Each structure stands twice: as C-alpha cells, then as structure tokens.
C-alpha cells in the first residue's frame, strides 16, 4: 500500500510538473516574470527562492500552479516602471493565450510520447472496450464480441436462486458456446420450464457451472431468467501502414479523447433523462480512486507497459479537464482572453478574480465529493 501511494504521488508530481512547466516555459519565452512555481495547492509547506522565482511545495497534493506577475491584476496597484513590460496582463492577447494553453499542450505531448512507446511495444495494436459504438480514425478497426455478460439480477428470480452474479460472463449454454445476446435469449425462451446448464466466468477467468430453470411466464419487465444481459464488444485497433505508425501517438490521443467524450456525453444525457447521477459518479475517480487503480495495475505480473498506458491516459484526461471552459481552469481563463480579443476590451479584473475564486471553491467541493464517493466504493 505504501508503495502504491508513493508511485501515485510520483506520477501525479510528473503530470503536474509537466503541465506547469508548459506555463512556466511560455511565460519565460515572452519575458513575463514568474513569481512562484508551486506543486500542490496552498497552504505552503516549503518554499525556496531561486533567482526571481519561488519554488514551493504545498499541503494539498492535488494540483499545482505558476504565479505570474500581474496575472491577478489589482486596480490601482502601483507598477514599478522597470517591470511594467513583464506583467502578464500587459502582454498582447495572443501571447497570454499561448501561456494559458501551454500546460494543456504539454500534457497532450506527454500522452502522445507515452502512447508511441506503449503502441510500439505491442506492435502498434490495441484493444479498446466498446462501451458505446464508435469508429476510430487513422487506424484499422475490427469489432469483436467478447460474450454475454450478466447485469442486474432480479430478486427472487431463477437467476438469483441459482446464484448467478452480476458481472459474470455466460460462456456456454448446455455445452454450446454462446456469444450473441439475441440468440441466447431466444434459446432460453424455447427451453422455458426445463433445467439448463450454464458455464459462467468471472473477471478473473475462473469458471463454474450453475443449473437453472427459466420461467415460462416471467413477470412484466423481467426475462425468463430474471437478469439484465449485455454484450461486451471490443475494438481491435491496428496502426498498420507507415503513415499510421508514424502518427500513431497523435491518432491514439485523439481517438481516446473523442471516445471518452462520447461516453461521458452519453452518461450525462442518460443522467438528465433519468435524473440519476449514479452512473456519472461511478465513471469519475479522484485521488483515492486513482490510487486504487494504481495498486491494481502494480499488482499485475508485468505492470510497466500497462502503467505507462495508464499514465498516458491520466495526462490526456488532465489536458481535457483543464481546457474545459470552467472558472479557475485553463479553459475558464481562456474564455476571458477570447472575450478580450473579440471585443478589444478587458473584463474588469475584480470580476474575473471573483469568478475564478468561485470556480476554485466549486472545484474543491467536487474533489471532496468525489473522494467521499471513492471511499464508499472501497469500504461499502
């Protein structure tokens, strides 16, 4: 457990440092004075000034920041003439946009480089579970059905009485391999009232046989077995041509980003329809949940390549989240700069500061709620 936590902290440190270095490097290129380069969020634990910049460690290890001179402009604040040209707020809009998006670009580049390594090790092939239908670009794709899986098991149903468990795969019916959900349902209906033998497999590959008698006339809303079924499909991706291989890191970053956004959009749409945020909360993980995923990957026999793939996905997600147009995030700051660029007029500094402060409060609240949700998943 200690090793898992240390690896997670190191991973988070790399992702944050890469992101913040993007802001730092772009600011330096435009001669903007960098007041502080911080890992974690305040209150400050330790800091040391080197040259004109304070490098600090902070108590909340969930992010980082680069503090620039004049970034949070205060009306009436006196500016020393020798430093006036080094204020962030005094730079052209396009330069400030570059500084703001530089962190996202660095995370995208890190993910791309890691994907080149991961894909190269696997001969430029990858399997992606298809939670929703999706066509990937710049790659050869063959969809494959892995089998029929048990979803929800109804109380007092034949399935529950037989000991069938949600998440198991139905591999065989009366000794016959089954992979098509519709064919399986029709066969179960045909065998209603007769005892059948099912071979089930769990997510560890362990198999067991159960005997169950499908109902002839099931209650409304329930099938003959009393289970909700689903087919799990995977997309077999292969970057085959020289061009596909040469661009595989970029293609893969784009493909996974577009696919993730499609899944999350579907979850949000279903949540609004059903007014149930359960599925959305299950798909989101905070520091505790990511630490648990880290432990799971490290416990495998050969964890290096899977973990590099995991880090690449984290870097990709960090980039996507940060570019969202939400206050306090890079995307939120970008919106204000775009408004200024279009209307040739800055939004009042105190208004922007208030909006970002409110956004940070909301983000911290969300982090706390997600952490509580992660702890519930582990202990309850």
Predicted confidence (pLDDT) per residue in 274-324, tens digit? 565 555 555 566 677 777 788 888 888 889 999 999 999 999 999 999 999
Whether the link from the prior residue into 43 is cis, omega within 30° of 0, is yes
Handedness of CA 158, 164, 166, 168 (dihedral sign): negative
Task: Please report where in the chains the tokens 């020393």 appear, as a residue.
Answer: 80
pLDDT value, residue 333: 94
pLDDT at 245 over 50: yes
What does the pLDDT look like over 320-366, one tens digit per residue? 999 999 998 999 999 999 999 999 998 888 899 899 999 989 988 88
Distance between CA atoms of 235 and 3, rounded to whole angstroms?
33
Residue-level pLDDT at 136 = 96
Percent of the chain with pLDDT over 90: 50
Handedness of CA 173, 179, 183, 189 (dihedral sign): positive
- Give residue limits of the domains in the chain: 2-120+293-379, 145-235
Categorize the per-residue pLDDT at 76 as very low, low, confident or very high, splitting at 50, 70 and 90: very low
Domain 145-235: CATH architecture, name and number where available: Roll (2.30)
Which DSSP string do the residues of 113-170 spell out, in sequence order? HHHHHHHHHTTTEEEEEESS----SSSEEEEEEEEEEEEEE-TTSHHHHHT--TT-EE
The CA distance from 198 to 42, in Å, is 57
CB 159 within 8 A of CB 223: no
Confidence of residue 368 (pLDDT cuts 50, 70, 90): confident
Render pLDDT for 254-277 as a digit per residue (tens, 0 to 9).
999 999 888 888 777 766 765 655
**What is the Cα 111 distance to its own chain's centre?**
12
Output the CA–CA distances (angstroms, integers) from residue 101 to 93, 210, 211, in the order listed. 12, 56, 59
Q: Can you tell me the mean pLDDT for 95-120?
A: 97
Higher pLDDT residue, 119 or 373?
119
């Amino acid at each position: 457990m200690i090793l898992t936590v240390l690896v997670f902290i190191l991973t988070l440190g790399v992702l944050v440092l890469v992101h913040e270095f993007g802001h730092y490097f772009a600011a330096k290129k435009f001669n903007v004075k960098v007041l502080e380069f911080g890992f974690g969020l305040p209150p400050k634990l330790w800091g040391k000034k080197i040259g004109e910049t304070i490098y600090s460690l902070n108590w909340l290890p969930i992010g980082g920041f680069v503090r620039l001179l004049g970034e949070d402009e205060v009306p009436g604040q006196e500016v020393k003439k020798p430093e006036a040209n080094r204020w962030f707020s005094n730079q052209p809009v396009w330069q400030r946009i570059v500084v703001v998006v530089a962190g996202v670009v660095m995370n995208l580049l890190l993910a791309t480089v890691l994907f080149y390594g991961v894909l190269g090790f696997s001969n430029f092939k990858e399997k992606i579970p298809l939670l929703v239908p999706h066509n990937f670009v710049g790659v050869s794709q063959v969809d494959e059905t892995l089998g029929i899986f048990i979803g929800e098991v109804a109380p007092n149903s034949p399935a529950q009485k037989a000991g069938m468990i949600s998440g198991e795969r139905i591999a065989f019916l009366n000794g016959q391999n089954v992979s098509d959900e519709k064919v399986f349902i029709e066969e179960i209906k045909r065998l209603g009232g007769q005892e059948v033998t099912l071979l089930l497999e769990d997510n560890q590959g362990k198999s067991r046989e159960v005997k169950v008698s499908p109902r002839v006339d099931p209650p409304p809303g329930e099938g003959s077995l009393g289970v909700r079924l689903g087919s799990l499909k995977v997309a077999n991706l292969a970057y085959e041509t020289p061009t596909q291989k040469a661009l595989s890191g970029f293609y893969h970053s784009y493909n996974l980003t577009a696919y993730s956004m499609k899944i999350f959009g579907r979850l949000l749409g279903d949540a609004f329809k059903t007014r149930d945020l359960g599925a959305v909360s299950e798909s989101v993980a905070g520091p505790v949940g990511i630490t648990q995923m880290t432990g799971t990957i490290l416990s495998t026999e050969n964890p290096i390549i899977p973990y590099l793939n995991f880090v690449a996905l984290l870097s990709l997600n960090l980039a996507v989240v940060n570019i969202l147009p939400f206050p306090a995030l890079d995307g939120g700051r970008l919106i204000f700069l775009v408004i200024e660029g279009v209307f040739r007029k800055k939004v009042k500094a105190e208004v922007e500061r208030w909006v970002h402060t409110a956004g940070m409060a909301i983000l911290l609240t969300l982090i706390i709620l997600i952490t509580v949700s992660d702890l519930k998943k582990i202990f309850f």
